[in-house]
Amino acid sequence: MCATHIEEGCLCKRCLQRLPRTEQAYQRQNVTEMAVLGLPSDMVRAGKVMHVDKAAAFLFYEKDHPIQQLIHRMKYADRPELGYQLGRQAALEFQYADFFDEIDLIIPMPLHPKRLRERGYNQSEYIARGISEVTGIPVDTTHVTRVRNTPKQALQTGEQRKTNVADAFAVQYPEQLYHKHILLVDDLITTGETMRACLKAMRQFRGATFTVFSLCKAQ
Ligand SMILES: [Zn+2]
């Protein structure tokens, strides 16, 4: 990948070709699904409890790989259009696996209003809007909100992480999303803890089904 294009936040064809793809759009019981739902032996049951149809990430996030710098720029260095471009690219590739079939709406993982003010944008919303442009599926940012500002996860142990994200999310007007198939979009899944907390809050959308998409999965 070209250093200047990562720096500028706009990737060329060559950069896009060299992204560390996971190919998970074609794999069930992949590592992203496992992070969200547990080991394969628990997965079917967990999927039923959480109403998760499938989960996949587009790219592998690796330290000391250009992807690390790319994601850092997208999140913290005011290059949100990178999220849009990568969301678009993921959707162009994932739609060949029928990944978005029957999905009614896209919900980006919300940021806490304070974090949103500091950063100026929600990177997951940019990814969601890129996916929306390709698939035509609308983006919804009104039904799920973040009500607790959790400290940055990188600095925490697994147990702290669990306590911090529990009850971090709230839903509004749940009856409007009963029985919908919702694509939940995040930028990076590590342990899957945040995603599970969000899915737990979204159980109030009775009868809804969820597909989880993350731009990246950390190893
Ligand atoms: Zn390039």
Query: Is 157:114 a contact under the CB 8 Å cutoff?
Result: no
Instruction: For 72-101, write each residue's pLDDT tens digit.
Output: 999 988 899 999 999 999 999 999 999 999
Residue type, 11: L
2 CA to middle of ligand 1, Å?
4
Contacts (Cβ under 8 Å, ≥6 apart) of 199: 36, 50, 51, 52, 184, 210, 212
d(CA 160, CA 25): 31
pLDDT of residue 215: 98
| Average pLDDT, integer, range 32-58 | 92
Contacts (Cβ under 8 Å, ≥6 apart) of 184: 107, 109, 195, 198, 199, 202, 210, 211, 212, 213
Residue 106 tokens, joined: 């896209």
4 CA to middle of ligand 1, Å?
7
For the beta carbon of residue 179, count every other beta carbon within 10 angstroms.
Answer: 10
Q: Is pLDDT of 160 > 90?
A: no
12 CA to middle of ligand 1, Å?
4
Nearest to 22 by CA among 130, 97, 73, 103: 97
Q: Domain boundaries in the chain?
A: 3-218
Q: Does domain 3-218 have CATH number 3.30.420?
A: no
Q: Is pLDDT of 58 > 80?
A: yes
Under the banding of pLDDT at 50, 70 and 90, the label for residue 163 is low
Contacts (Cβ under 8 Å, ≥6 apart) of 23: none
pLDDT of residue 111: 94
65 CA to middle of ligand 1, Å?
15
52 CA to middle of ligand 1, Å?
36
**Chain centroid to CA 13: how far?**
23
- Least confident residue range of 21-30, 41-50, 189-198, 201-210: 41-50
18 CA to middle of ligand 1, Å?
9
The DSSP code sequence of 27-84 is -SS-HHHHHHH-SHHHHHHHHHHHTEEEEEEEEEE-TTSHHHHHHHHHHHSS-HHHHH
102 CA to middle of ligand 1, Å?
34
84 CA to middle of ligand 1, Å?
16
Q: Is pLDDT of 176 > 90?
A: yes
Q: Is pLDDT of 164 > 80?
A: no
pLDDT of residue 161: 58
76 CA to middle of ligand 1, Å?
20
Q: Is pLDDT of 153 > 60?
A: no
For 60, 128, 167, 202, the CA distances from 54, given in Å and listed in that order, are 18, 17, 23, 16
159 CA to middle of ligand 1, Å?
40
